[in-house]
């Protein structure tokens, strides 16, 4: 349904290997029926950094995140237009291989949703879809990913158990491990600690700080303190619009009234 | 104040407990009456032979014809209902997701179909049967019972699908599943216990229904011999024998009822065990 000439005219901003940006978003608009949820967003998300998308509930953070791996397709009411370039490719255009596209990004949602299979199979689900069948390789992946999220010591004796026997915090780390197992380059995290106790939240935050060397992390949160702890780059949203962007210094010197107000209320 | 609160709590505890236990009690009462009245005539012969001449006057034979007939009718109908119901439920649940109004109207109609008395289905099946020039037969019985239980199946599947959170769909898709992999590797497993319950519910309704098979499946003392031959069913066997003036035959009606109850209990039990075992194997 798209115009081929447009593709050539609106070339993708550079998000390839040599670029500093992992994701470039240009003129992103999302409509739900007739209301506009996201209003002409332009964002460049830096590689191997934590980009925090901050804003009050209902401002469109989740919708923005879901557009980045086309989960918006699930909601027929949503109409997405514009450009989202990942690895030099506009993902809003490509209709070919959604699996491959989604495997470039790992998703961590507000609540953990473990698959209805064992801990082991939760981790191997993605790699198996990629065609990895060798038991030894799968074993290695499971060990490596569980260690990466600090869950290995807690579950190594019961890899065949159901995820139901884990606490919510452990389940969330399992979901992170499961997402990392498909070797994405980008992690999309939607308020990943909002359902967790402070200790579990801290563990997840620590994991993020640890893995940002190798992954680009986009973290959605409405918690100012969390944003201050983790952010390398901040995108402040309000009502479907980007109000302010910048490095951590914008917490000290917010330019806009909305951001000032939000920071005051959030602290 | 504390005292009032305590009394109130005790009262509600009593009320809820009473309701729960009286339902269980009535159920036990029904089952025990059936078994007590039926145990006298329950024998190996009863479940291993078809009626012989003079059976309905207290002569030799059993109700194997009706046992097999019932299993065939209910089994066949359940198969048809699954084949029609599973895709229909999926359609209502996912493809009509966008059209909430239409979705609700369809659900409303299915619920209404659920409430229609089975004799209406029987009459409907009978009309269709005559229209196509068929005789009362196993096939006509299966089709009629399938009409009766398909709405139940669709709505129960639909309810199970609705309980599966969107977050799980999103999780599976974001790991790279296609829609088919999502359906078979995740949704199916997650919903399995619910699906089995739905199938059992439909099977129970199908095997226990007399009115829908009265005109359509017919009745015969022969073992069911083909789709186009009439077939006996347990509910009708109970009905015919209960209306007999001979006490011995009435006793057999109760044993037939006990057999029907046992079949339903056994199938429930076996499928529960299978679900448990399957879920466990799943986790290896
Ligand atoms: N599938 C949808 N259909 C219609 N409206 C939606 C849908 N998803 C989100 N919205 C609307 O978009 C707005 C932003 O939602 P969301 O992105 O979830 O905000 P946030 O994550 O910042 O709380 C809300 O007003 C919400 O009602
Ligand atoms: Mg949200």
> What's the pLDDT band for A176 if we cut at 50, 70, 90?
very high
Calculate the alpha carbon distances from A103 to A174, B127, B231 in Å. 17, 56, 56
Measured in Å, residue A190 CA sits from the centre of ligand 2 at 7
Average pLDDT over residues A176-181: 93
SS3 A29: strand
Contacts of A110 in chain B (CB under 8 A): 167
pLDDT at A1 over 80: no
Which residue has the least CA distance to atom 24 on ligand 1?
A58
pLDDT higher than threshold 60 for residue B264 = yes
- How many whole angstroms from A93 Cα to the centroid of ligand 2? 25
- Region A193-203: mean pLDDT is 89
What number of other Cβ atoms are within 10 A of residue A99's Cβ? 17
**Which position has the token pair 């898709």?**
B173
Contact check, Cβ <8 Å, B174/A106: yes
**CATH classification of the domain holding A60:** 3.40.50.300
pLDDT at B277 over 80: no
Query: How far off is chain B from A112, nearest CA to CA, in Å?
Result: 8
The reported pLDDT for the residue numbered B274 is 80
Residue B20 lies in a domain: no
- pLDDT of A152: 93
Strand residues in chain A grouped as ranges (E): 21-32, 35-46, 50-54, 78-86, 89-90, 105-108, 186-190, 216-221, 233-238, 241-246
**pTM of the predicted model as reported, rounded to 2 decimal places:** 0.81
Kindly determine whether residue B283 and residue A99, on different chains, have CB atoms separated by under 8 Å.
no
Residues in chain B within 8 Å Cβ distance of A115 = 168, 171-172, 185-186, 189
Quote the domain boundaries for residue A123: 4-266
Nearest CA to A251 out of B53, A238, A233, A240 is that of: A233
In a domain, B191, yes or no: yes
DSSP type of residue B184 = I
Phi, psi dihedrals of residue A202, rounded to the nearest 5°? -65, -40
Ligand 2 centre to CA of A222 (Å) is: 9
Is the residue at B28 inside a domain?
A: no
Average model confidence (pLDDT) for chain A?
Answer: 89
Structural domain count of chain B? 1
Rounded average pLDDT over A48-68: 94
Judged by its nearest atom, the ligand closest to the C-alpha of residue A192 is 2
Q: Which atom of ligand 1 is nearest to the CA of A77?
A: 3
Q: Which atom of ligand 1 is nearest to the CA of A35?
A: 5
Beta partners for residue A53, in sequence order: A220, A235
Contacts of A71 in chain B (CB under 8 A): 170, 173-174
Distance between CA atoms of A150 and B14, rounded to whole angstroms?
49
State mean pLDDT over B80-90.
94
Residue B78 lies in a domain: yes
**Number of domains, chain A:** 1
Instruction: Give the mean model confidence (pLDDT) for residues B201-226.
Output: 90
* pLDDT of A38 higher than 90: yes
* CA nearest to B177 within chain A: A99
Asked if residue A78 has its Cβ within 6 Å of ligand 1, the reply is yes
Residue B41 corresponds to which tokens in the numbers above?
């005539």
| Confidence label for A3 from pLDDT (cuts 50, 70 and 90) | very low
Instruction: State the nearest Cα–Cα gap between A24 and chain B, in angstroms.
Output: 20
- Residue A170 CB–ligand 1 contact under 6 Å: no
Mutation to test the B interface, candidates A33, A115, A181, most B Cβ within 10 Å:
A115
Quick check: A161 and B98 CB within 8 A?
Answer: no
Is pLDDT above 80 for A80? yes
Specify the pLDDT at position A144.
94
Using the atom order of ligand 1, give the atom closest to the CA of residue A191. Answer: 21
Across the interface, do B173 and A71 touch by the CB < 8 Å criterion? yes
Ligand 1 centroid–CA B140 distance in Å is 51
- Here the tokens at position A249 are 């210094």
Average pLDDT of the residues in B11-35: 93
Find the domain containing B200 and state its range.
Answer: 45-283
Residue A94: the pLDDT is 66
ipTM of the complex: 0.88
């Amino acid at each position: 349904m798209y115009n081929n000439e447009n593709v050539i005219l609106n070339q993708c901003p550079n998000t390839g290997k040599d670029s500093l940006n992992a994701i470039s978003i240009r003129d992103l608009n999302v409509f739900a029926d007739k209301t506009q949820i996201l209003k002409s967003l332009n964002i460049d998300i830096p590689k191997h950094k934590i980009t925090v998308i901050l804003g009050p509930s209902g401002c469109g953070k989740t919708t923005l995140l879901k557009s980045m791996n086309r989960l918006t397709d699930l909601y027929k009411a949503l109409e997405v237009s514009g450009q989202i370039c990942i690895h030099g490719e506009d993902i809003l255009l490509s209709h070919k291989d959604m699996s491959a596209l989604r495997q470039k990004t790992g998703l961590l949602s507000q609540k953990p949703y473990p698959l209805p299979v064992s801990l082991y199979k939760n981790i191997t689900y993605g790699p198996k879809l990629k065609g990895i069948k060798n038991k030894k390789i799968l074993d290695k992946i499971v060990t490596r990913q569980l260690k990466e999220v600090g869950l290995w010591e807690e579950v190594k004796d019961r890899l065949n158990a159901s995820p139901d026997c884990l606490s919510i915090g452990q389940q969330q780390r399992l979901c992170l491990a499961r997402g990392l197992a498909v070797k994405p380059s980008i992690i999309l995290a939607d308020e990943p600690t909002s359902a967790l106790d402070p200790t579990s939240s801290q563990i997840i935050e620590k994991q993020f700080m640890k893995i940002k060397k190798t992954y680009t992390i986009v973290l959605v949160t409405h918690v100012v303190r969390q944003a201050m702890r983790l952010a390398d780059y901040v995108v402040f949203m309000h009502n479907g619009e980007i109000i302010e962007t910048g490095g951590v210094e914008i917490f000290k010197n917010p330019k806009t009234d909305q951001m000032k107000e939000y920071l005051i209320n959030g602290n | 104040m504390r005292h009032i609160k305590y009394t109130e709590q005790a009262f509600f505890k009593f009320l809820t407990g009473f309701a729960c236990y009286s339902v269980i009690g009535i159920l036990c009462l029904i089952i025990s009456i059936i078994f007590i009245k039926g145990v006298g005539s329950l024998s190996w012969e009863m479940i291993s032979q078809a009626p012989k001449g003079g059976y309905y006057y207290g002569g030799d034979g059993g109700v194997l014809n009706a046992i097999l007939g019932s299993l065939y009718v209910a089994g066949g109908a359940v198969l048809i209902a699954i084949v029609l119901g599973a895709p229909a439920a999926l359609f209502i649940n996912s493809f009509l997701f966008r059209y909430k109004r239409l979705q609700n109207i369809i659900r409303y109609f299915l619920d209404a179909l659920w409430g229609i008395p089975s004799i209406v289905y029987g009459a409907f099946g009978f009309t269709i049967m005559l229209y196509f020039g068929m005789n009362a037969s196993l096939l006509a019985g299966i089709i009629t019972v399938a009409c009766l239980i398909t709405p139940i199946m669709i709505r129960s599947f639909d309810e199970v699908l609705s309980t599966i959170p969107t977050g799980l769909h999103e999780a599976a898709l974001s790991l790279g599943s296609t829609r088919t992999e999502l359906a078979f590797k995740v949704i199916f497993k997650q919903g399995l216990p619910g699906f089995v319950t739905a199938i059992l519910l439909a099977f129970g309704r199908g095997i226990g229904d007399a009115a829908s098979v009265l005109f359509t499946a017919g009745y015969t003392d022969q073992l069911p011999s083909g789709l186009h031959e009439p077939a006996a069913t347990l509910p009708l066997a109970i009905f015919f024998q209960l209306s007999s003036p001979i006490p011995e035959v009435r006793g057999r009606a109760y044993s037939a009822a006990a057999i029907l109850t046992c079949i339903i209990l056994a199938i429930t039990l076996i499928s529960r065990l299978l679900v448990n075992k399957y879920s466990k194997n799943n986790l290896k």
